[in-house]
Amino acid sequence: MRITPIVVALQLMISPHSLAADGEEKGMISMSGQTFRALEIAAKELDRHGLKVEKYRIFVETIDKTIHVTFDDPDRSPTQRGSGPNLTGLSVELDVETLSVTRSTFIK
């Protein structure tokens, strides 16, 4: 099994100079066009459920032939399992070649 994390998400691959004094993330992010398209498609899935992408922390990783996009509560602690205290998380899986959604599940 090949696991390739794609560092993305409105907060990943940010330069060291991209944090403001208040800890707010600022600056430029970098991602491939395929990752961008996967995020667009996954965000439509989130929208379909009436959820706002702006409220989430987003993680993207490729495992074998699947792109996994996770919309996570930014207030969820790293040790907490399941959804965070304020938002229900959503996991969207896409086929790496066709970018079609193969699975979409709420994180419980």
Q: Give the pLDDT confidence of 6-32 residue by residue, as tens digits.
A: 434 343 333 344 445 555 566 788 889
pLDDT(89) > 80? yes
Q: Which two tokens stand for residue 74?
A: 């930014």
Q: Rounded distance, CA 44 to CA 63, Å?
A: 21
Mean pLDDT, range 27-53, rounded to an integer: 92
How confident is residue 45, by pLDDT bands cut at 50, 70 and 90? very high
pLDDT(97) > 90? yes
The pLDDT of residue 8: 41
Q: Rounded distance, CA 52 to CA 40, Å?
A: 13
Beta-bridge mates of residue 63: 3, 66
- The number of residues in the chain equals 108
